A and B are shown apart, each in its own frame.
Chain A
Amino acid sequence: MEMMVLTRMKRGSLFDRRAVLVGISLIPVAALVLLVSVVIWMGFRQTGGVSASYSLDAYRQLFGDAFTYKTLLNTGIFSLVTLAVALLFGVPAAWLVERTDLQPKEIPQTLMILGLLTPSFLSAMGWVFLLNPRIGILNTLITSIPGMEWARINVAAVPWMGVIQGLGLANVAFVMVSPTFRVMNPAFEEAAKVHGLTFFRILRKVTLRLAYPGILAAAIFIFMSAVAAFDIPAVIGLSNRVFTFSTLLYIQVQPLDGLPRYDLAGASAVLMIGISLLFLWWYFHTLKWGHRYAVITGQSYRPRQVELGGWKVWAWVFLGTYFLLGQILPLSVLVWNSLLLYPQVPSLSSLSQVSLANFRALSIPQLLIGARNTFILAVSVPTLTLLFSVALSWVVVRSKLRGRFVFDIFSFLPHAVPHIIFAISAAYVSIFFLRSFLPVYGTIYILLGVYVLVWISFATRNLNTALIQIHRELEEAAAVSGISLFRILWKILLPLLGPALINTWLWVALLAYRELTMASILATTRNLTLPATMWGLWLSGFYPKAAAVATLAVIVMIPLVFLYWFVGRRILAMERIS
């Protein structure tokens, strides 16, 4: 009898340990659900105060306004151009790196991954300096040729913004499509070759057909990212009153004149979430379909590599053009302009005017607050994100909890809901409801909280993949030998997840470091970050000063990026040994 009581107690204690993990996972899941619900609720709620009336007025106004449809059209054009440009550069680059004898592959591979880390507001600023209708360097050069006045480019035109966004997302296309080419069974292509198909026919009829689900999934993801993108439409479009949906949301809650319209923002957000969910469904549908194409087989092989021969030069020209347009040109122009008091075409005379005047004119205390906040966030955000994500991943992948898929779905919310919407919701909640007893608005904690919430989905996906690859029996062996759940986590799972944890930590740290979208909504003078400081200067028209802050941000980021790159290589090397 005593024994029975004892075993019952033990059963209880086991339940408790799991409950801790479930409890930790519940916090972010509940917060995410809350923020999304608040946004929906916001759209029906008329006044901003605690007392309010409910109606469909916001929806009526939103759908009755021609401006809404213009913005929808803008967003559509912007996203389609983005998609086209991203695929135009990303897919051939992936094919060149994975399936041809182009050497050395490490250079394009590394540059592509580092490009993922370059904040897109940097290249946006660079392109404004290049293509501003009045002062842009390229425009000045073009119109200095007699009779070329008509060729002036307006960077604030929606398609041009799309081109610049596309250059930024080509890295994503590259990273997402590469594995599709890498794991493709060469037997499919060889079969076509043996049966007499020519190179281009094989490429068109076999290779690209097999890669199609992978490319389509990448395309949907990129389109969704473009719809949600804030940095480039904000940096380029806002001052020219050219809007996409995310900048429309921004201007609704941070209007240049008048009161914030949270009700309109709520209605717009619901429209945007609806569109996103539609694409998300299509995305998952495509992924499932991709699995049916059995391009992966159990045996290990190296896909046959296409010999480029004389085409090699053109391959390098292609990749070089991309890196020049996507990174080198806009970033160097940005640095150049941070050294000048007003934008000028590089020349001997302008070279003599180069100075650090912009840097000296920056407010040092403000800059220090920004740097300190950014640093605190870049350390605390990835740490907290990992804490929640490890618990979530364990619940989703390992626990046999019956409702675990609910955790999985809700932790995916930030992929479906544009980040700016979470920021608006958090601002709304903290300004109107938490003010008296939890005054987080205007503090670094609100940034910390929202950053952690939105990146949990990214971290959880990463850890899920890593956790699935760890054989379940490694944990079961520990359990049978008498080791309890927390000790298994600490002694077995975390060490084995080590590479994935380090990788995810660094990645989230870099995301937190460069974050502008949510900071633009949530940052005040007290909780400024470096990107928010730069954004404030840019919005007020101090372009060279903003360029100076951006340059400082890049300088600080370079060692971080190298750290990421270095650790990434070490992890790869470690994985090869084991």
Chain B
Amino acid sequence: MISVRNVAMQFRSREGAVQALRGIDLEVRKGEIFVLLGRSGSGKTTLLRCVAGLERPSAGNISLGGRTVFSDGEGIFVPSEDRELGMVFQSYAVWPHMTVFENVALPLTQGKKKFPKTVVKSRVSEALRLVQLEELGGRPAPLLSGGQQQRVALARALAIKPRALLMDEPLSNLDARLREELRFEIRDLVKKIGITVLYVTHDQVEAMGLADRIAIMDHGVILQVGDSQELYHQPASASVAEFFGSMNWLDGRISEVGILETEIGRLLADVARSVGSSVAIGVRPEDVELSVSASGGMNEFEGQVLSRIFLGEYILFQLQIRTQKITAKVRGIAGLQDRMYLRIPKDKIRVFPSRLANLHSAAKETTLPVN
């Protein structure tokens, strides 16, 4: 549905050229909710705005439902108003000088396609019903709450029956509770309509709650695409693992096949890397098992409890093992001591190329000219 091929984008800023997107490839399937997840400055919003036609990429191709809307090779740039999209903005962008009804109706009366009055009326009320605002049609926009403005923006985007719906951090200005509520609502709504959605957020929980598939972006590139489970359990790189959920990191070296030498001691793991290489070892806090007594099993270490925080659903422990601090998320635990035993199941250990090595290769990449 939305196809992005090798899209690059350069900004000119005062400090010089900034590479906002570096060769992005992306395929959003019809009817899918696709989330672009990344920190601020990762290029996710720029990519969305390129799809919307609000920014013009410096290179690449973009097509919507088979129609090329941007191609630097062919010199095509279809302006925003001809792309037949719906978009929900971070600021909602509800026009403040109009009522709710007028906001939703304006694209239908002033847009490229013009509809007769009766159609406009039924389309607007249908859209407002979808977002449960049918009662508020006559209300001036500035008198709406944040959540209501968000719904108006959604209704406005849906009323024109767009080919795809673009959403730019639509929930980030709302409070936590409302955010959660609207997240479910948005997913139900767009699934009911069956519209293709490209959604931008920096919130991992939001992404997991909404998405059919997620692309993780960083520094203008896509690190990995997949569904929530894939990204969580099989992160392709240390960066993805770090971004998607929290992680305990250990530096280590493969001393023998299946054996890692680390700062906390020797770990047994299934590693498919050559002996002698330096690696980064990641263990998720919820995968760490704690007990008051030693079980004598493998990968077991004794640690000093530094802190213990009760967070309702789970308890967060911080333990000191030699020079290293390890965080553990535990559901409930029998007994409590200053020193506890910590066990890391073999299959929960993730091994990546050393982050130090990563840094080196990244540095090489930027300093060495491309052959």
Which listed residue, A11, A480, A481, A496, touches B96 by the CB 8 Å rule?
A496
Contact B91 A483 (CB under 8 A): no
CB contact under 8 A between A4 and B111, given known A480-B166, A492-B95: no
Give every chain B residue within 8 A of A14 (Cβ-Cβ). 79
Which listed residue, A482, A495, A496, touches B107 by the CB 8 Å rule?
A482
CB contact under 8 A between A480 and B91, given known A8-B75, A11-B77: no
| B54: interface (CB < 8 Å) | yes
Give every chain B residue within 8 A of A103 (Cβ-Cβ). none
The interface bits of chain B over 83-117 (1 if a CB of A lies within 8 angstroms of the residue's CB, else 0) are 11111011101011100000000110011110000
Smallest distance from the beta carbon of B160 to chain A beta carbons, Å? 6
Smallest distance from the beta carbon of A270 to chain B beta carbons, Å? 33
Contact A482 B68 (CB under 8 A): no
CB contact under 8 A between A577 and B142, given known A479-B80, A481-B106, A483-B110: yes
CB contact under 8 A between A481 and B97, given known A8-B75, A10-B78: no
Contact B79 A481 (CB under 8 A): no
Give every chain B residue within 8 A of A561 (Cβ-Cβ). none
**Nearest A residue to B54, CB-CB:** A476
Smallest distance from the beta carbon of B97 to chain A beta carbons, Å? 5
Contact A483 B78 (CB under 8 A): no
In residues 479-538 of chain A, which contact B (Cβ within 8 Å)? Answer: 479-484, 487, 491-492, 495-496, 498
Contact B82 A481 (CB under 8 A): no
| B76: interface (CB < 8 Å) | yes
CB contact under 8 A between A476 and B78, given known A482-B113, A487-B110, A496-B97: no
Smallest distance from the beta carbon of A96 to chain B beta carbons, Å? 34
Give every chain B residue within 8 A of A481 (Cβ-Cβ). 81, 86-87, 106-107, 111, 156-157, 160
| A473: interface (CB < 8 Å) | yes
Contact B78 A480 (CB under 8 A): no
| A478: interface (CB < 8 Å) | yes
Contact B89 A7 (CB under 8 A): no
| A364: interface (CB < 8 Å) | no
Smallest distance from the beta carbon of B45 to chain A beta carbons, Å? 11
| A401: interface (CB < 8 Å) | no
**Nearest B residue to A474, CB-CB:** B93
| A145: interface (CB < 8 Å) | no
| A50: interface (CB < 8 Å) | no
Contact A8 B76 (CB under 8 A): yes
Smallest distance from the beta carbon of B53 to chain A beta carbons, Å? 7
**Nearest A residue to B83, CB-CB:** A480
Contact B86 A473 (CB under 8 A): no
In residues 454-482 of chain A, which contact B (Cβ within 8 Å)? Answer: 471, 473-474, 476-482
CA A473 to CA B96, docked complex, whole Å: 12
Per DSSP, are chain A's interface residues mostly helix, strand or loop, or mixed? helix
Q: How many residues belonging to B are interface residues under a CB distance threshold of 8 Å? A: 40
| Range, interface on chain A | 20 to 34
| A3: interface (CB < 8 Å) | yes
Give every chain B residue within 8 A of A473 (Cβ-Cβ). 89-91, 93
Contact A480 B110 (CB under 8 A): no
| B216: interface (CB < 8 Å) | no
| B153: interface (CB < 8 Å) | yes
Contact A482 B160 (CB under 8 A): yes
| B191: interface (CB < 8 Å) | no
Contact A480 B97 (CB under 8 A): no
Contact A491 B106 (CB under 8 A): yes
Contact A483 B107 (CB under 8 A): yes
CA A496 to CA B85, docked complex, whole Å: 24
Contact B93 A471 (CB under 8 A): yes
CA A495 to CA B141, docked complex, whole Å: 14
Contact B76 A476 (CB under 8 A): no
| B290: interface (CB < 8 Å) | no
Which listed residue, B81, B86, B157, touches A479 by the CB 8 Å rule?
B81
Contact A478 B78 (CB under 8 A): no
| A578: interface (CB < 8 Å) | yes
Smallest distance from the beta carbon of A573 to chain B beta carbons, Å? 14
Give every chain B residue within 8 A of A476 (Cβ-Cβ). 52, 54, 80, 87, 89, 93
CA A3 to CA B69, docked complex, whole Å: 10
Which listed residue, B74, B86, B106, B140, touches A478 by the CB 8 Å rule?
B106
| B67: interface (CB < 8 Å) | yes
Contact B82 A482 (CB under 8 A): yes
CB contact under 8 A between A11 and B81, given known A473-B91, A477-B153: no
**Nearest B residue to A470, CB-CB:** B96
Give every chain A residue within 8 A of B160 (Cβ-Cβ). 481-482
CA A479 to CA B156, docked complex, whole Å: 13
Give every chain B residue within 8 A of A484 (Cβ-Cβ). 81, 112
Give every chain B residue within 8 A of A577 (Cβ-Cβ). 142
Contact B111 A477 (CB under 8 A): no
Smallest distance from the beta carbon of B81 to chain A beta carbons, Å? 5
CA A23 to CA B266, docked complex, whole Å: 74
Give every chain A residue within 8 A of B95 (Cβ-Cβ). 474, 477-478, 492, 496
Most chain A beta carbons < 10 A, residue from B68, B107, B142: B107
CA A577 to CA B79, docked complex, whole Å: 35
Give every chain A residue within 8 A of B80 (Cβ-Cβ). 476, 479-480
**Nearest A residue to B69, CB-CB:** A7
**Nearest A residue to B142, CB-CB:** A578
Give every chain A residue within 8 A of B106 (Cβ-Cβ). 478, 481, 483, 491
Give every chain A residue within 8 A of B156 (Cβ-Cβ). 477, 481
**Nearest A residue to B79, CB-CB:** A14
Contact B79 A479 (CB under 8 A): yes
CB contact under 8 A between A480 and B85, given known A577-B142, A578-B142: yes
CA A481 to CA B89, docked complex, whole Å: 12
The interface bits of chain A over 198-237 (1 if a CB of B lies within 8 angstroms of the residue's CB, else 0) are 0000000000000000000000000000000000000000
CA A10 to CA B76, docked complex, whole Å: 10
**Nearest A residue to B90, CB-CB:** A473
**Nearest B residue to A487, CB-CB:** B110
CA A131 to CA B302, docked complex, whole Å: 98
Give every chain B residue within 8 A of A8 (Cβ-Cβ). 75-76
Q: Besides the contacts A476-B54, A478-B95, A480-B87, what 12 more A-B pairs have beta carbons closer than 8 Å? A: A7-B68, A7-B77, A10-B78, A14-B79, A474-B93, A477-B156, A478-B107, A480-B86, A481-B81, A482-B81, A484-B112, A496-B95
Interface residues in chain B, defined as those with a beta carbon under 8 Å from any beta carbon in chain A: 52-54, 67-69, 74-87, 89-91, 93, 95-97, 106-107, 110-113, 140, 142, 153, 156-157, 160, 166
A-B contact pairs, 28 of them (CB 8 A): A3-B67, A3-B68, A4-B76, A7-B68, A7-B76, A11-B76, A476-B54, A477-B89, A477-B153, A477-B156, A478-B95, A478-B107, A480-B52, A480-B53, A480-B87, A481-B86, A481-B87, A481-B160, A482-B81, A482-B82, A482-B84, A482-B107, A482-B111, A482-B112, A482-B113, A484-B81, A496-B95, A578-B140
